[in-house]
Amino acid sequence: MANSAKAMIEIDSERTVYGASGRLPVWAALAVGALMVAVLGVIDYATGSEISFSVFYLAPVLYVTWYGGFRAGFFVALASAAAWGIIDVAAGARYSIWLIPMWNAATRLGFFLVAAWLLQALQKANSRVLALAHTDSLTGLANARSFYDYLEREILRQRRYGSAFTLAYIDLDHFKEVNDGYGHAAGDVVLRSVGMCILATLRESDVVARLGGDEFGVLMPATEAVTANLVLARLQAEISVSMRTSAPGIEGLGATVGAVVFQDAPHSADAAVLAADEAMYTGKRAARGSLQLAVWPR
């Protein structure tokens, strides 16, 4: 079963949050954090107890949490709180009873952990916002914006490596009758079921998007004409079954598919989608429920 485009979007969003190289290995983040704590401890001890160095101990905690996750941040928070307390005593701080430095260390640890938790919550919220910006809210598929991004990347890959890819434009037949006969809620059920049907039929490497209304886009990397024709014909049959199951009693339910196999890179993503859209409308004019496959360059 193909992975959902939503999952791919969440992966891209996570990479955006953590940087181009993604999340650091935990051991690397911990190593950097430990080094930061050690350097801060040396500087703190050298400056003496009169100068407050407290805010700087937060830096390694936040760094490790950002790149290594909350669990790694917890250990650095523990190390920072312990180092801060030990250096306070070593630098000459005096307390009336021995419980005070322990209380201070626990308070500092709590402060560090709250800061680390808030940072992690911010990361997750940011990832969700980025994912929603690239996801169709009804079907959970990629939206048009995200689909164009994937398509642009595929065009760049083809210009570099030369492998053909296929772009399909799918329009549902007689979908208006579903809304008119059963209501828009039933239409939404049909759209969701079609989206899941497409995902279940295609490969994990393929990208599926709802482009708007009852129109879907499919990007199949490294796919030549013979394979594309077989896969899309099977997909077309599965969509028809899915629609008839979701909205029984309406005649002619199915999909018209227009597809283009790009043996050479198109000028842009817009040009590629336009070519697939034209193939789909050629099929609509010929007969609904048809599959039109073209090859680029013509």
Q: At what angle do helices 70-90 and 26-47 cross, to 10 degrees?
A: 20
CA distance 287 to 256: 8
Query: Can 149 be counted among the known catalytic residues?
Result: no
Catalytic residue (one of 214, 264, 270, 277): 214
Catalogue the long-range contacts made by 14-21 (C-beta closer than 8 Å, 24 or more residues apart). 14/127, 16/130, 17/123, 17/126, 17/127, 17/130, 18/66, 18/67, 18/123
Give whole-number Cα distances, 87 to 2, 55, 79, 94, 209, in Å.
55, 15, 12, 12, 57
- What is the total residue count of the chain? 298
Among all residues, which ones are annotated catalytic? 214
